[in-house]
A and B are shown apart, each in its own frame.
Chain A
Amino acid sequence: MPEARDRWYPIARSEELVARHIVHAQLLGQELALWRDDAGRVNAWENRCPHRGVRLSLGTNDGSELRCRYHAWRYASGSGQCTFLPAHPNQKPASTIKVLTYQVSEKYGFVWVCLGDVLGEPAELHLAGRDITTLRSVFVDAPAATVAAAMHPATPSSTEVHWLQPVDETRTVIHAAVLDLEPQTDRLALLRRQHARLARIRDLAETQHRHHP
């Protein structure tokens, strides 16, 4: 579905992109390497070095550049432009040497990616001004449509929100958050209840997919 690419999807919680780490993610079948530089800027790149096709998620995030595991080619945060070729250390790399980068945004406690083209930032208007507590994301071995069906007919809640990340044709991640958590809430108990709710949805969707793939 080409139109499914021209929109934002959440693909990780902000807190997962820790310093000097590279997260290996996947959206609509496209593998991604996600990383944060030391200034806090997030990058969402095709998970493939343009040199010999090695997964960039195996490389090193040194805080300002990503180095490929194979030949240590270096790519600048933001542009994805290659800045250094160890085999030719005195040459400036040709400007054509560049990693494919995707539109990325960080909002509402999540990192969002658009594989195609979209204007502006993710706009979840009902979240404006709300306090957001993100939950642990749940990985489901079922297509997004099956997961969506498993979430019906849950009564809509004003304090629970969720989004679906289609990993590929048969796998989905459920990202969820709780809004406006009261300070005196037993936080742990609430998180456990919420996670159990998502786990039930996962089990329902996976059973449905297994029997009606």
Chain B
Amino acid sequence: MDNVALNAWYPILARDEMPPGTRRGTTLLDTPLLIDRAESGAFEVSIQDGTNAVRGDAALPLLERYGYLWTTLGRPVEDLFAIPEYAESDRRNMNGASLAVRVSAPRVVENFLDLGHFAMVHTGYLGVEPHTEIKPYKVSVQAHEILATECIVFQPLAALSAKTGLDVEYTYRVPHPYCAILYKSCAVDASRRDVIGIFVQPVTEVSCIAHMFLSMLDTENSDADIKAWQQVIFGQDKPILENQIPARLPLRPTAEISIRADATSAAYRRWLLDHKVRYGTLDA
């Protein structure tokens, strides 16, 4: 496995979804893990051996951030990326859902970054015909993070808190090979932004679990309604993701065709190639 994938932090659980005093398994980078939550609420994660018992090794390093449990199979050289908005007192922070997808983690991240499919896949929600044009936007790499700004889309119903269609401005940030964050202009307060993240747990090279992080400024709708709306959107992407061939993301620039609207995705593939990320990719 490449060093970048090995030494990263990975989300493996939405913390509130596991009651204290329980145990569950999950898989990360082809490695079966056991998660134990004590009655006190404290977590312990270990690599599972074939008999369902815990290996003799020490428990894996853990972080609790943004409502998730993060672990690593390597030795991260840096702390996990920061999301300052999470700490704002009026934020509605929650896990939209943790959904399994039969495709590589990079394909899921790239779909999250993609603007061109809104009118076709999320019809009536994030886009609508004939407003399919994607005007040029800005993409740069700053401090190892990809940033795409001034992405404008017309959305008929951009968020549950919106009442009419609006021109919405998106900013995308990729701070991790398998995580992406979206900042979108908020219907409730034009000076601030809703934050939506996709934190992907690679299970195998061709399957993953997408944890959908939400940090919303919504004063009206319940948690359940906000989550349900995100699940509708992701449910529309899932069948397309599971029908992409190959399942791994091809990094050779000529393997698939990119157009100007795909600037963020082209930058993401170049970034993975430059950092030699091989897990879930081809031709790295």
| A and B bind | yes
Given the complex, which residues of B lie within 8 Å of A47, measured CB to CB?
Answer: 245
By a beta-carbon cutoff of 8 Å, the part of chain A in contact with chain B is: 31, 47-48, 50-55, 58, 69-72, 85-90, 96-97
Query: Cβ of B116 and Cβ of A97 under 8 Å apart?
Result: no
Instruction: Name B117-139 residues within 8 Å CB distance of A.
Output: 117, 119-121, 129-130, 132-134
Count residues of chain B with CB under 8 A from any CB of chain A: 25
A90 to chain B, nearest CB (A): 8
Are A53 and B260 interface neighbours, CB within 8 A? no
Contacts of A85 in B (CB 8 A): 259, 261
B120 and A52: CB pair below 8 A? no
Could you write out 16 A-B pairs with CB less than 8 Å apart? A31-B245, A48-B245, A50-B256, A50-B257, A51-B259, A52-B110, A52-B256, A58-B239, A58-B240, A70-B240, A85-B261, A86-B116, A87-B115, A89-B130, A89-B133, A96-B257
Contacts of B115 in A (CB 8 A): 87
Q: Is the CB of A54 within 8 A of B244?
A: yes
With beta carbons under 8 angstroms apart, the residue of B239, B246, B256, B261 that contacts A88 is B261
- Identify A87's interface contact among B121, B132, B246, B256, CB under 8 A: B132
Q: Mark B92-133, 1 if CB is under 8 A from A, else 0.
A: 000000000000000000100011110111000000011011
Which residues of A lie under 8 Å from residue B134 when comparing CB positions?
Answer: 87-88
Chain B interface mostly helix, strand, loop or mixed?
Answer: loop
Which of chain A's residues have a CB closer than 8 A to the CB of B119? Answer: 72, 86
A168 to B114, CA, bound (A): 34
Q: Enumerate chain A residues within 8 angstroms of B243, measured Cβ to Cβ.
A: 54-55, 58, 69
Q: A87-B132, A89-B132 are in contact. Are A51 and B120 (CB under 8 A)?
A: no
Interface string of B235-249 (1 = CB under 8 A from A): 000011001111000
Contact check, A72 vs B132: say whether CB atoms are below 8 A apart. yes
Query: Most chain-A CB neighbours within 10 Å: which of B110, B133, B250?
Result: B133
What residues on A are CB-neighbors of B256 within 8 Å?
50-53
Q: Which of B117, B129, B245, B246 contacts A71 (CB 8 A)?
A: B117
**Given A53-B246, A70-B240, A72-B132, A88 and B120 contact (CB-CB distance below 8 Å):** no
In the assembled complex, which residues on chain B have CB atoms less than 8 Å from the CB atom of A87? 115-116, 132-134, 259-261
Question: How many angstroms between the C-alpha atoms of A58 and B237 in the bound complex?
Answer: 13
In whole angstroms, what is the CA distance A15 to B260 when docked? 41
Q: Which residues of B210-266 have CB atoms within 8 Å of chain A's CB atoms?
A: 239-240, 243-246, 250, 256-257, 259-261
How many Å lie between the Cα of A153 and that of B196 in the bound state? Answer: 65
A96 to B243, CA, bound (A): 23
Considering the chains assembled together, what is the distance between the CA atoms of A71 and B133 in angstroms?
Answer: 11
CA distance A195 to B166 in the complex (A): 59
Is B257 a contact partner of A88 (Cβ separation < 8 A)?
Answer: no
A85 to B114, CA, bound (A): 15
